[in-house]
Structure 1
Amino acid sequence: MYNDNIVGLLFLYFGVLTSSVRSKTASPDVAALNVMYSSMKSPSLLTGWKSSGGDPCGDSWEGIECSGSSVTEINLSDCGLTGSMGYQLSSLTSVTNFDLSRNNLKGDIPYQLPPNAVHIDLSNNDFTGGVPYSISQMTDLQYLYLGHNQLNNQLSDMFGKLSKLKELDLSYNSLSGNLPQSFKSLSSLRKLNLENNQFSGPIDVLSDLPLMDLNVENNQFTGWIPDNLKNINLETGGNSWSSGSAPPAPGGTKHHAHQHSKKNNDGKSFKGGVAIAAIALGILALIGFLIALLSRRKSSPSSHFLDEERLSQHRSFTPLASQELPQDLHPNISKDFTEPKPLDRSSSIEMKALQKSPSLRLKHPPPFKQSYDENEFANRLNSKRSNSIRTSSYSLADLQLATGNFSAGRLLGEGSIGRVYRAKYADGKVLAVKKLNSSLFQGGRLEEFSEIFSIISRLHHPNIAELVGYCSEQGHNMLIYEYFRNGSLHDFLHMSDDYSKPLTWNTRVRITLGTARALEYLHEVCSPSLVHKNIKSSNILLDTDLNPRLSDSGFATFHQRTSENRNAGYNAPECTKPSAYTLKSEVFSFGVVMLELLTGRMPFDSSKPKSEQCLAQWATPQLHDIDALGRMVDPALRGLYPPKSLSRFADIIALCVQSEPEFRPPMSEVVQALVRLVQRSSINMSKELGASRRLDDYDS
């Protein structure tokens, strides 16, 4: 009996111990909830929650449900919460139900939400901004409720992968623009609420969805209501629908078949239907004739000629002026690299058409034996990429002519992976040519050029330098970009002569925000994420209006054994070697660039006293000291800056350059903070273009 009691106690003890171990919440979940708690302004309403540490699963935090050590549900509906939701929600990978509805939460919806959520309800709050694009990757999402907020902007084309979505509520916001075409992919959608917004255009994109309930009241929709939608629970009042009979839909569509069948069942409208069909056939015949005519014209040699300046007028990007080129790329980059729909690709050109046309007035060299010729390169690219290539093939002979046979006088910069040259053509066109070292492709690594070209050519963002073309002939591998005469941010801050006017405060903020948006795109829109790994002011180029263009994105594939001082002053404390570089390390480097803009100092300056040589180490302790901040600011500004804006700018820097990586915010949060700075400081980001050349126009 005694032994039995001992055994029973042991079982009880180990059972309790095992239970306590199981209930210990996973550390990423704890950290995410800690940040959420700290971001809310009235967290005392939540029982058990803490701003640091704790055990949400074991201690039964209010609104938290767990499975084992993972948080699976967060239900904080109608808790009187204010403030924001925090920025680490992407760590909550096991959360399937996320409900913060009926509170008073404000600000933008965080870019990253629990990535595997099935049910998200953020309705009846005071959220502003747009619908976060990261929703496009939430393939398990079935219910999304964002109604009764203050959301604005247009909907991005983000719904292509949401085939499981059953209910979507965007009602009672200020969303505008046409409905995105990716709505067609919502093959499970049963209920859609869009009422009381500012949507415009037709709703034809909804015609073939399996909807049972649709409310589009009180918008600015136009056109006709598709017949397919007239037999469901439909609310359409308060729009500008077209009167009269709808025109026939294109032949073969479900809408057309439905309409035709309906009219044939109505004897009174049969003759009218025949007449409409005859008119439609006539119109289609005329369209066919015009298409054939245009096709014949398009095939003529003269139609292939594209004026070089016109070809590039929509491109305001150029990567060059960097003294050193980046090293490494995200190790998980794969052929599945994806991108969001470009904002404006009306000027995009098919790669095959460019290769066949003399659009850039370049002559092909005489035939010669090539180890890796142009056609082979193009074929490799076509096997990896979509057909919509926006770059042109350049011949080696013409690049040699335009660069003076790559003469030293045309050299713009030299780094660890190659040299950059200025190419000038007879018509005045100037380009920048990045000539990659041949040693990079030894040992059977020739395919790396097509891989890296494929990656870089998919990057499309207003603040990222885009490719113009490529050349791969006779063992030479080159990438061609446009050329910016304004050079880099490094040149403006550290190499301006006595006759140059400094960058104004407004321009510095604008450069910061544009660069942050570029990094947000690389980190949080590209899939998989891209780490630049060489963020510094010399890789931030400035266009004619001094808008930033982040250069040298995507070169990290070429990992080199370089010294640790390659990025002296920019590297985060944890970056003792290139392989240690992460997204959070990049946030630190961006914070150092912000410090350059604030102080006008170099990130590392050996001419300074030892305690001041490293800009981040010297400046960080002083960022919250108002008096010290005033002494740190760039003297070139001559005191022309709003003090409150300067202080907020310093607060953002302090977040970015924290020594512990996990405490640094993601770039989406940095972007949001900068946007709020602009809004609160009343900085006019559009009218201020070019004002850095005219201090007398400065508006403080």
Structure 2
Amino acid sequence: MERDAIFSEKPKKSFSCPIFGFLVDLGIPKSSTMDLSGTLVPAFALFVSLSLVLSPVIAKTDQPDVSALNVMYSSMNKPSQLTGWSASGGDPCGDKWKGVNCDGSSVTEIDLSGLGLNGQLGYQLSSLTSVTKFDVSKNNLKGDIPYQLPPNMVQLNLERNQFTGGVPYSISQMPDLKSLNLANNQLSGQLIDMFGKLPKLSTMDLSFNRLSGNLPQTFKHLTSLKTLYLQNNQFSGTINILGNLPLKDLNLENNRFTGYIPQKLNDAKSIKLGGNPWSTGTAPSGMEKASSSRLGSGGNSGSSSWWSSKVNGIAIALIVVAVLALVVLVLSLVRKNKSSSSSQYLDGRSHYMDDQLSNNRSFAPLAANDKVIDMKPLQSSSSFGMMKPLPIDPRRSSTDASVSEFAVKYHSRRISEPIDATSYPLSDLQLATGSFSSSRLVGQGTIGRVFKAKFEDGRLLAVKKIDTINFSRGSSHEFVEIITDITKLHHPNLSELVGYCSEPGYHLLVYEFQRNGSLHDYLHLSDEYSKPLTWDTRVRIALGTARALEYLHEVCSPSVMHKNIKSSNVLLDLELNPHLSDCGLAVFYEDLSENQESGYKAPECVVPSVYTMKSDVYSFGVVMLELLTGRKPFDNSRRTEEQSLVNWAVQHLHDIDSLSQMVDPSLRGLYPPKAVSRFADVIGLCVQKEPEFRPTMSEVVQSLVRCVQRSSISKRMGGDLSASGRSNDSDW
């Protein structure tokens, strides 16, 4: 009764039902919730505090996921069809953004297929660590596939877009990946050995791209692969590597595969092989020829192959008939003109050659190692009957000299191809360098020394004096050919050749003079008055140098290997932009056994024939290590275990705590930790011992662009990255 009396009275202040129920659920006495005065106020305060603590857990999406989707939305040009999405902030899970599925506060699936999206995917996808399905197929997305993708994906579908570049290496780090679809894009280049850690991959579709080269050896580790579509690419080589895979559905049509078909592929339910130049004849044990039933869908490719072989046979027959007719014609002409005088023959030949020279007609150029043409009379040939040497007319005794003179002019025309560089007199360069005085010496390398040249008009140039011993195998002609090739190289991050000098005993290259010297000097020889390179500047130097190497490797045709990547060959202009020097001089760096302790040489570079573009990538990774740590690539003043920079650093690159201890102390902690971590990840890939596991330079460029963007974001958000006293650190 007493309790009822109490509750029958009208309380002074009452509280609403939801809070009342919540406090009761927490075990707070019911009576304590009815009055907020006196000692009962703490109960209400407790509820408010708990609600504030719990609300983010219940309603808010993990911040890394939000940031990644914000960047993705902006990179896709903020499409209106993505309802709920935002370029900054928001709650993808709580507000149910279109195409985004969550588990609790983590984004787990992104399905944006067929929405007419354009732009790019952004650079922060690796933050989506809980995403298992990523589908942006059937859109109009462009650019390279991001170097870093969500790391724990099970399904990745990017088909039917306009992606370019190669297959990103980060796919190799997705152990749970089951389905990979990159079909119907514009991907190009070779597949690198990146399939060794994908044991669950069961479906892979790379069809309708421009991929080329042999199938990677790591395909043999795809022990769960049942469906493989590679049709309509430019793959070449054999398919032996596919023999032991559990394939059930295989399409290799319209490539350049050769060799024979592994008999074990007979277990496949569907196999299409048409449009490839398979080997004919008896197949070796365990192999077979491609049967007509396998050549294409519906037998069309097989019929086409049969018709093609018939056409080829007819063409060969026509060629044989034409050759025979030509032989008959020549024999008849020989018999008809047998009584002609030798002087007429020589006069006619001489006039013909004179006409060629006077009319400036073009001829096929001689190779660099071709000898001067020896115009001798035709000797006997079984194909053309017996043709005796024609007697020489004494009235034209100078004919042979004329022919030889013509041959020399013909050969010299090739090596004197127009050169887009100034030819400096030796006397001018001697005057400008003080006769190559030691006081003008600014650098010394493997093949020669570099001098500072001051001209009377105020110009400053750098003159590289190549040691004469490097031309012991050739002459000045070889030097001119090297210059011709160098002048074809043009890129903002290459050191530009502006002139040369080729005189007896002197082979000189003249370049623009970079006033801030080399990266090596800036990192290792700066005096106490010089401010250190800021983090932004270091990343921009790495990116510019990477772009120069990407140009040499993947834009130039044929590709150009550098073979001497080191920090002393990265020159810095007034704004600290990098300019890679010594490009086009790889012929002088064939002896790779010397100077191994320098720390730049890749492990495989023990003989010249092993050097590849991936060896350049390794050396570039060492330069990046210098930028990260401020250390020399090899320093015998340090403890034995720390003398080799690569050997010391690789064990710490992926440990956040150790990484922070590796960063150049001169930065004084002024750098974004996440960007440093990404930078270290790129280094780790570049300096791997196995060349096939290293990324291409285009992949390196992609990743470094992300580092620059992350640094820029940190800067805009208030991060103190400082500025170099010798450069303008504006974002690229």
Q: Shorter-chain TM-score: which interval?
A: 0.3 to 0.5
Q: Which of the two has higher C-alpha Rg?
A: 2
TM-score (structure 2 length as normaliser)? 0.46
TM-score (structure 1 length as normaliser)? 0.48
Structure with bigger RCO (C-alpha 8 Å, 6+ apart): 1
